[in-house]
Chain A
C-alpha cells in the first residue's frame, strides 16, 4: 500500500495538468472572492454595513454558500480527479501502472486517497487566501474568518472531495475522461434542471416535486447553502448533513461500481 501511495503522489506531482488546474483554482477563486469583497466593501462604504449575515461564507466559497451557483473551485479541482483515471486509459498508462503495482485494490485506493488529499489541500489554500485578500476590503465591516466561515470551509472541503470522487468514479466506470468531464458538468447544469422542468410543467408530477431534493447535485449544493438550511436531516429542504449524505451516497455507489469493474475488467 505504501508503494501505491508513493506512486500516486509522484504521478500527481509530475503531470502538468495538476499544476495548472490547481493554480487556476487558486487564482480564479481568489479573484472572484476579491471582486466580490471589493464590490461589497464599496457598497458598505456608501450605505453602511447593515447586513453581513452569510457574507464571510460567501467570500471564502466564491459565493457557493449562497446556493445560487455551484462551487467553481470544486469543479476545477474535480478535473484533477478525472484526469487521474482518464490519463491511465487515454495514454495506455494503465498497463504500465499495473506492471509497476500488481495490486489493483492498492492502486485504486491510492488514487482516491491521494487525489482527495490534493484537492482538499488546494481548496483549503484557495479559501484561506480568498478570505485573507477579502479582509483588505471588508475588515472594517465584518470578521471574514468568523465561526460561520470556518464551518463552511469544512463543508466545502467535504463537497470538493465528494465531487472529485464522483468525477473519478465516472471516469473509471466509463474509461473516458471526455465523457466524465461532460457528465460532471452537464448533470447539474442540464440534466437536473431538465428534471426540475418536467416536475414543474407536468401536472401529474408537480405534486411530487419534493422528491427532487434528493437529486444528487442539488443535494450537494445544500451541503454548502447557508441561506436555506433545512432543520431536519432529510426534510424539505435537506439539512447540510442530509444533502451531504445524499451526495456522498451517489458518489460511493459509483465508486463501488468503479472498484468492482476495475477488478473485473481487463487492463
Chain B
C-alpha cells in the first residue's frame, strides 16, 4: 500500500507554463482518474512524478521519491507511451530485459504475458502488434514487478470495447487489493465507471481533486425539474430562499440549490399541484466540460460557409 503525494509540481517549457504548482494525493485502494483537456499538462505531470522530466516540486511514493526507490518496478509500474518498446525485440525479450533490471524472476514474465492475454504472441515482434496489443504489452511491463502503485497515461487508447471493459475490471481489482492506481483517460464515460477519485487540471493548474461523486455533484447541471400548472406561485416561494436559482419556461421550472424533497414538501405545504418532480443529475462529462471550460489549450472554431457555389 502506498500513498502518492505530489507537491508543488511545476514545469515550464521555453517560458510557457505547462504545469503550475500542482499538488494532490492518490490514496491506496482507489482508482484515481486524472482528467484535463488536451495539452493541459497531464503527461508532463506524470513524467515529473517519475523524475523523467526536471521541474519544480516533488512526488513521494510512501515517503520516497521515485529516484530513491530500489528496483523501482517492484514499487511503481508506469505506462507512459503508446508503444514503449523496440519494434523488433520480441515481447517476451522486452519484458525479460525490464525484469532483469529489477531482479524479477523470468517466470513472472510468462505470468504477466498470460494475465494480459499475450501468451500467444510472446515470441513475436511487436511491430506486428495493433495499438491495443501494444497497450497490453505496455501494461504488462507496468504490472511486471507486481507494484503497489500504477501510473498509467491513457491506457485505454486503442483498446476495443471488450478490452476497455477488461481493463476497467483489471484496474478496479488491482485497487481492491489495496494498490494506488493513478490513470489518465479521455474516455469520461469509462472514467465515471472506473474511478473513485479525480484529479482535474486545466492549463497545468489544479481545478478539482476529490471523490468523483463530489465533483459531479458540484456541477451546475444538477437541478430539479418541476412541471406544475402553478409554476409561477412555486417560483415566487422558492425565490425567497437563499442560494436557490429558478428558471421558468411556462409550466416548467429548473431549480438549483435545493433538492427535490424540499421542493416537494414546499409544494405540499402551499397546496401547489405538481405534475412532475424529477432530479436531473449531471454526467461526469458535463461536470468536466463545465469545470474545464475556457482552460482548453487548443480550441476548435466553427467555420463559416465560404459560399463556393
Contact = CB atoms under 8 A, between A and B. Distances in A.
A96 to B, nearest CB: 4
Interface string B256-272: 00000000000000000
A263 to B, nearest CB: 9
Contact of A266 (B54, B69, B73): B54
Contacts of A265: 54
B78 A99 contact: yes
Interface residues of A, number: 26
30 contacts: A3-B71, A3-B101, A4-B101, A7-B101, A10-B96, A10-B97, A14-B90, A17-B88, A91-B83, A92-B84, A93-B86, A95-B52, A95-B78, A95-B84, A96-B81, A96-B98, A96-B141, A99-B72, A99-B78, A100-B72, A100-B73, A102-B51, A102-B66, A102-B67, A102-B68, A102-B69, A102-B72, A265-B54, A267-B52, A267-B53
Contacts of A249: none
Contact of A99 (B80, B86, B93): B80
B54 A264 contact: yes
B103 interface: yes
A95 B81 CA distance: 8
Contact of B102 (A3, A92, A96, A264): A3
A103 B90 CA distance: 25
Interface string B80-124: 110111111110011011101111000000000000000000000
Interface in B24-66: 47, 50-54, 66
Interface in B134-149: 141
Contacts of B171: none
Nearest to B98: A100
Contact of A92 (B54, B67, B83, B94): B83
Nearest to B44: A266
Contact of B73 (A15, A87, A95, A99): A99
Given A7-B97, A10-B96, A91-B83, 9 more contacts: A7-B98, A14-B89, A91-B87, A98-B51, A98-B52, A99-B50, A100-B72, A102-B51, A267-B47
A87 B85 CA distance: 9
Nearest to B101: A7
A11 interface: yes
Interface string A1-44: 00110110011001111000000000000000000000000000
A6 B106 CA distance: 13
Nearest to B144: A100
Given A14-B96, A100-B98, A100-B101, A95 B89 contact: no
A257 B97 CA distance: 27
Given A14-B89, A99-B50, A7 B100 contact: yes
B191 interface: no
Contacts of A95: 47, 52, 78, 80-81, 84
A142 B247 CA distance: 105
Contacts of A87: 86
A97 to B, nearest CB: 8
Interface string A129-169: 00000000000000000000000000000000000000000
Contact of A91 (B52, B67, B85): B85
Contacts of A4: 101
A15 B293 CA distance: 47
A11 B47 contact: no
Contacts of B72: 99-102
Given A3-B71, A3-B103, A92-B83, A11 B78 contact: no
A77 to B, nearest CB: 19
Nearest to A93: B86
B74 to A, nearest CB: 11
B106 to A, nearest CB: 10
Contact of A100 (B47, B68, B102): B102
B76 interface: yes
A91 to B, nearest CB: 5
A101 B66 CA distance: 10
A91 B50 CA distance: 19
A34 to B, nearest CB: 31
Nearest to B55: A266
Interface string A176-210: 00000000000000000000000000000000000
